Amino acid sequence: MKHLKRFVAIIITVLLFGYCLNAQGVDEKLNLMPMPVKVELTGGEYRLDQNFKVAIEGNPAERLYGAVSRMLRRLSDRTGLFFLQDYLHRSSVIQDPDMIIDVKRPGEVKLHEDESYNLIVTSTHVSLNAETDIGALRGIETFLQLLEADSSGYYFPAVKIDDYPRFPWRGLMIDACRHFMPVDVIKRNLDGMAVVKMNVFHWHLSDDQGFRVECKAFPKLTEMGSDGMFYTQEQIKEIIKYADDRGIRVVPEFDLPGHSTSWFVGYPQYASAPGPYSVERKWGVFDPTFNPTIEKTYEFFDKFFEEMSKLFPDEYMHIGGDENSGKQWSANHEIQAFMKKHNIPDNNSLQSYFNKRLLAILTKYHKKMIGWDEILHPDMPKSIVIQSWRGEKSIEEAASKGYQVIRSNGYYIDLNQPASYHYLIDPDPDSLKLNNSQRKNIIGGEATMWSEFVSPENIDSRIWPRTAAIAERLWSPKNIVDVRDMYRRLKEISLELEDIGLTQIKNQSMMIRRLANGDDVTALTNFINVVGPVQGYNRAHQRTDYTSFSPLTRVVDAAVPDAEAARNFRYLVEDFLTRNIQDENNIKQIEKRLILWKNIDARLNTIIKRSPILLEVEPLSKELSDISAIGLQALEHIKNKTKVDSNWVNESLGRLKEAKQPQGQVELRVVSPVEKLVIRASEI
């Protein structure tokens, strides 16, 4: 009997362990992102109705009451339920609450604050416990993601969740300089960050194309350097408060000493070459650079950072430091004489001298310096933070020398790579030659949204939903790397992001309607669903006449970087060929898509005749039709196991190679799977 009891106990333990494992990453019922550290499904569900009430206990900050009120509104909007509880404030007295949020202390919006939480859902109640109210904010987002529905109504599955972030710095950078991003754009993206538990908004506020912050000490910065597009100090305070209410820090960036043309429009006396200067309209690396050898430069920055330090409360301030060409320094005889007098051997060392002078000013105003990896220099103290954009070599070098590091290399979302690419890049990969102590210097990462090719209309489609995959990489355990499951959950999170006001889905439809010029959008939508903007820096290379006033309303601007239809087709072909899933439904789905795309060209040509803006993608429409026909032929040979002529194979592969060439700066994203079908047909 003892042995039987022991055997039963072992079996139960194994089953429970397997069930818990299932919940931690492969349970298709849960649409959580980021995936929590530990999820245990406990059976049953909590049924939601209009009597649902929430109470807060403990000692939270005021922000939590607003967050719970927003939670109730989001639940009400998604379910249509008329909750009897409308909002919550500190003086509210809630009798018999269904959900209790217990917080030990107010959290501080700062690096290394405790963001952990414990969430328990049973059939009768919900409890959310956290050390800080910021942890409770993260738990609220998980709770909202658990909402499900069936024919009986809405419910939350019974779960027990213990969760905390892997990295303390989980950021999104938005460049408001190349194209200005109004307050509403910033706010809705802060809401998106909160949904996926990101906690740092890095705000790029000065560059060659514009200076974007009201500065009362130096008003000509915006009067002459912003084209009238800038944030007032009241707007900045409003956004900082908005971010704080969501547990998000705001770190400003003023890019120095290069990327500085806009500063010199109003204040040319601080430049390394005489003016006059004008706001830059094009993209690239430009020569205007601050003069680091004159004292009046540092007097200017002392007054400037004194004002900015009061405006931005975060302990960190970003000074950029990237892409200084050094040409003005090399051409300035007085600067060269200064370098010789002070034994400064090269421009890199001169920039280090400049950075140390800035560091002294920032330290005076109780700020810590962050910069891109160009500021890493042996003379710089370990107190600075390095943001790496150039690769793992700089991460390894900085971390090994004792500098704290933020990874952005691999997270440049403006380069139009798929979510899967970003998802599989770890901030702290095993390949780095670092010991455990040095690895602790890697404090997180940031997705970077440079704005050369985005407008307020389409910026959300470039940030979301892909940034949610990066957010998971920064929050969740390192071993959660199932790409297909990530995409399954990403689709659901994208819908939730749209629910809270982001526009990555609905604005694309609006742009397509405009491109169709009042015609039926079906064919154009099907076409755009299988193309994507060219990746990397190719867009700027393929067309060099872009300026800050160029239209961002073309097919390349409506197409998204990670088109779902193209990705799903790739998976269908992969399952058919690699996983040997050759059931009738799989084959029919491949055929259905190829037939649809084969017939697009004729239908799209009708629209193009009435909408000349589409002429640039007309050749690509023909390419899609042709390669789809090739794909259908290859599929037929594979199904029937008939031998193909080698000339057909060579001609088809040549045609597919041609189809990979972009048109109108977009490229077909379904060429490779068709190519695989042809190769498989040739092997029969």
426 neighbors 464 (Cβ within 8 angstroms): no
The amino acid occupying position 87 is Y
Token pair belonging to 402: 């004792």
The 3 state secondary structure assigned to 101-156 is EEEEECCCCCCCCCCCEEEEECCCCEEEEEEEHHHHHHHHHHHHHCCEEECCEEEE
523 neighbors 603 (Cβ within 8 angstroms): yes
Residue 412, CA distances (Å) to 50, 174, 221, 669 in order: 44, 11, 28, 20
Q: Residue 586 burial by CB count (10 A; 0-12/13-18/19+): exposed, middle or buried?
A: middle
Pairwise CA distance, residues 167 & 406, whole Å: 10
Pairwise CA distance, residues 308 & 236, whole Å: 11
What residue has token string 């993209």?
Answer: 283
Pairwise CA distance, residues 509 & 271, whole Å: 46
Q: Mapping DSSP to helix (H, G, I), strand (E, B) and coil, where does residue 99 land?
A: strand
Pairwise CA distance, residues 537 & 544, whole Å: 11
170 closest CA partner among 455, 518, 473: 473
Four-point Cα dihedral 26, 29, 35, 40, nearest 10: -80
**323 has catalytic annotation:** yes
**Sign of the torsion angle spanned by Cα atoms 398, 400, 405, 410:** positive
The active-site residue, picked from 40, 323, 492, 564, is 323
Q: What angle do CA 616, 620, 622 make, to 5 degrees?
A: 115
- Which residues are annotated as catalytic? 323
